[in-house]
């Protein structure tokens, strides 16, 4: 932990400055006060752990002197306590390292989940439906709210595209690793010769953006209204309730027609639009970061093939961390922790390595 010692004094000094400012609030406006209280709450567990670390370190120094004492009983006692303190300080060091990892400000956000059938025709749309069901079950297991914003289905119980809003505790922190190309290898129900086909679907997980995150000005939007259409293009509504919103600066287009109310469709479309704009900003930052240093697992590259689901062997492989599991049936039932937890650990390890190199 020597490499982090120089950071501790800076953290404790900043903590004292915040404490002094909070005790003298006369010159603080509401926004500044909220910001300082938030930073104070974030630094408190770090400062307390630093104090414990320094205290144990001082005790180890004193005990190291006592083991050279001429009194055998003092020497024996010091050796026992020193052994325990060294075990204790290793635990504290690990805790401190985790506390010092830079937090992803989006981890606590809700998420917009988008699933689209890729290459593979009908089989790809059936696989997209399987992924949709998998994430819905995963949400249920985590007690998250799962809301379908829009869905385009096929006649074979497949899905061309579905967009969902998932809300709850730390949704994005887990689902952010799911962005990318998911590939399936299996024998389609329409395949008479028993030949294994390979199909794909793309998954995008966006942090849900609030109005405070993304400010969209009316002049930057073009809003078109039209009548909702069903399969084959037939009109399913007699009023212009469907909404298409184009964000002119970015060129992002979002359409919504699932609701009968134009107002509700517009609200849903704006929710998706804000999240896509925020996601674009994140992707730009990740691209810039990858130019500066090795890109991390959680970067969410949409074109990256991240996972393969092999049905004949009951196997799931995550290509980013070379992880292979043989519990495909359980995973499709929403038990994704065996996949997601190692990805979270890998991201944490990468951040710790970067922290140590700073």
pTM: 0.69
Instruction: Kindly report, residue by residue over 323-353, the tens digit of the pLDDT.
Output: 999 999 999 999 999 999 999 989 888 877 7
What pLDDT sits at residue 229? 66
- Render 280-349 in DSSP notation, one character per residue: HHHHHHHHHHHHHSPPPGGG--TTSEEEEEETTTTEEEETTTTEEES-HHHHHTT--HHHHHHHHHHHHH
Instruction: Kindly report, residue by residue over 87-109, the tens digit of the pLDDT.
Output: 998 899 888 888 887 777 788 88
The average pLDDT across 210-235 equals 71
64 backbone φψ class: left, alpha, beta (φ>0; ψ -120 to 50) = alpha
Ramachandran angles phi, psi of 141, nearest 5°: -65, -25
What pLDDT sits at residue 297? 45
The answer to whether the beta carbons of residues 112 and 165 sit under 8 Å apart is: yes
**Given pLDDT bands bounded at 50, 70 and 90, which one contains residue 302?**
low
Whose tokens are 């932990």? That residue is 1
**Given pLDDT bands bounded at 50, 70 and 90, which one contains residue 303?**
low
Among candidate residues 339, 316, 342, 335, the one with its CA nearest the CA of residue 135: 335
Chain mean position to CA 244: 28
Among candidate residues 356, 109, 52, the one with its CA nearest the CA of residue 348: 356
What pLDDT sits at residue 218? 82
The answer to whether the beta carbons of residues 182 and 117 sit under 8 Å apart is: no
**Given pLDDT bands bounded at 50, 70 and 90, which one contains residue 285?**
low
- Range with lowest mean pLDDT among 28-37, 254-263, 290-299: 290-299
Pairing of strands 242-247, 221-226: antiparallel
What pLDDT sits at residue 212? 61
What pLDDT sits at residue 298? 44
What pLDDT sits at residue 336? 97
Helix (H) or strand (E) holding 206: strand 197-207
**Given pLDDT bands bounded at 50, 70 and 90, which one contains residue 145?**
very high
- Return d(Cα 180, Cα 299) in angstroms, integer: 10
Q: Examine the pLDDT at 132 and tell me if it is beyond 90.
A: yes
């Amino acid at each position: 932990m020597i490499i982090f010692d120089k950071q501790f004094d800076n953290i404790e000094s900043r903590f004292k400055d915040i404490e002094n400012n909070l005790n003298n609030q006369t010159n603080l406006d509401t926004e500044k006060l909220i910001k300082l209280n938030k930073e104070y709450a974030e630094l408190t567990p770090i400062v307390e752990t630093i104090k414990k670390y320094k205290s144990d370190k001082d005790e180890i120094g004193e005990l190291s002197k006592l083991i050279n004492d001429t009194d055998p009983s003092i020497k024996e006692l010091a050796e026992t306590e020193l052994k325990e303190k060294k075990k204790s300080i290793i635990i504290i060091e690990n805790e401190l390292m985790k506390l010092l990892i830079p937090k992803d400000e989006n981890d606590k956000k809700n998420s917009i989940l988008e699933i689209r059938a890729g290459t593979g025709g009908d089989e790809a749309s059936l696989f997209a439906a399987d992924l949709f069901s998998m994430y819905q079950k995963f949400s249920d297991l985590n007690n998250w709210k799962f809301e379908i914003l829009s869905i385009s289905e096929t006649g074979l119980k497949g899905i061309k595209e579905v967009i969902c809003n998932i809300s709850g505790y730390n949704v994005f922190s887990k689902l952010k690793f799911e962005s990318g190309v998911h590939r399936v290898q299996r024998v389609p129900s329409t395949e008479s010769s028993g030949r294994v086909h390979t199909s794909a679907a793309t998954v995008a997980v966006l942090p849900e953006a609030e109005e405070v995150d993304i400010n969209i000005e009316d002049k930057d939007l073009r809003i078109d209204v039209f009548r909702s259409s069903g399969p084959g293009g037939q009109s399913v509504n007699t009023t212009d309730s469907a909404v298409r919103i184009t964000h002119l600066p970015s060129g992002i287009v979002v359409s919504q027609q699932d609701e009968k109310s134009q107002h509700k469709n517009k609200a849903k479309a704006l929710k998706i639009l804000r999240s896509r704009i925020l996601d674009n900003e994140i992707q730009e930052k990740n691209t810039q970061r990858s130019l500066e240093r090795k890109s991390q697992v959680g970067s969410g590259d949409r074109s990256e093939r991240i996972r393969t689901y092999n049905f004949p062997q009951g196997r799931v492989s995550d290509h980013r961390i070379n992880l292979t599991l043989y519990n495909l049936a359980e995973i499709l039932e929403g038990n994704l922790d065996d996949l997601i937890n190692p990805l979270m650990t890998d991201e944490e390890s990468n951040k710790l390595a970067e922290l140590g190199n700073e």
